[in-house]
Structure 1
Amino acid sequence: MTDLRELLDDAAGPEPAVTDTDLSGDLTRGRHALRRRRIAGITTGAVATALVIGAVWSVLPSGTTNGAPQPAALTTKTPKPVKTTPKEYRPMQQDTRKPPVIPATAVPLVANTTQFPGVITCDLIPKGWAVRTTIPAAKGGGWEQQELYDPNLRNPKQYRDATYTVVIRQTELMNEGEGLTVDKYSTPWTKLPKVRAGKYDAVTSGVPGSPYGRQEVYIKPDKSNRIVGVSNRAYNLAWDMDTLLRFAGSCHYKL
């Protein structure tokens, strides 16, 4: 019996010769195929990973990476200016109270029988008036101030302040580079125009003979630099300028 393999071999024809080149080519093609499969697998995995990262990125809060703030988020923003409304301007309230009524007859000057309590006293005083120390020398740094007032004036608080008193104050000539001057004046005392107040030279803001005695007078009662300042602000005295000068001329230092 003819062998079956031989019959098949005869039907297929002779087997082609296989060379070393053919074997090398097959081996190279096999390696390329294996490399393509590996690259395809890596690429597929990378694409899938990128998709996953993209999905996670999309659900993270804006401006963060893994919960950490981006550098831009660390930049300090300049706050917007806040518009403020200025406080309502409130001017000082004016004292609308009226001064005392000016009497038809001026309060006369009479001899003073009791010395004033401070370092300054006066030989004359308005009739019925009294004196009190408002700024003691110890508290005023040596500049004492006294005040003449009418103790019979009813309810003084109904009147504007400084409209019913005469102030007597202690001061002196000071040299501030322009010569010896008295307060409220920049011109030296020797160059200021003088009037007579009793037996003393005086500087005054009023004019002798004027019907208005609500003025200020400075007298120099001795050869020292001490000055007596007298400010008449009392409407209820009804003094003219000559009466004020008579009163100021009677004032002097005790020592």
Structure 2
Amino acid sequence: MDLRDQLASIAGPAVAPTAADADADLARGRRALRRRRTAQTLGGSAFAAAAVVAAFVFATGLGAGAPGPAATDRGTAVSTTQLVSYKGKQPKGFVLDKIPDGWFVQADDPGSIVLAPSRIRNKPGVDPSSDPLYDPNSFEGKIAVMLQSRDQGGPPAGTEVEVGDRDGVLAQSLDNDSGRTLWVEQPSGVYLQIQFWADLGLSHEQMVDFGAGVHVTKAAKQGAG
């Protein structure tokens, strides 16, 4: 007896399928097809839902873990410095309500104020020409307050803001990509200008808040050129 005959004897005589057997097989096939289609539909829905969630997290910055700077600052400069009440001697042409914590008035005259970090204050033996921070005539790394020049036009395009009870524009500095200049219109029609060098640790909201605390006195003078 060869292998085929042995298998045939084990399986027994062939039995013709009945109509009931055919119906049962057909029903099982249909159920299997429905299960497969249901699984595909659910899988597609889950993928779509996951894609929506991923898009929402990417767009809003919300998700597991701590939010990044873009989520907390909404596209503005990141704040690492606080504004505090100014306790020093008031400048000649302006009155200051607030200054950045750890800063001081480095230079002032009726036409302008220059504020700088206190860490450079009264350091002996430093050549100002070697570091602009030590040069009171330099605005680099500092905040400068002044009236617009007599031969200067109005503010450039920028973000319109309310500075206290006055209208203002926060514009990108022309010679400093990440610096900002705040223009605040005065009752006389002249603009107060506050120049913020790049990376001072002040948010744009703080720049506006600082500007609201700068008051022009009658002693302030416009420059030219």
**Shorter-chain TM-score category?**
0.3 to 0.5
TM-score using structure 2 length:
0.46
TM-score using structure 1 length:
0.41
Q: Greater RCO between the two (CA within 8 Å, min separation 6)? A: 2
Structure possessing the higher radius of gyration over alpha carbons: 1
Q: Which has the higher helix share?
A: 2
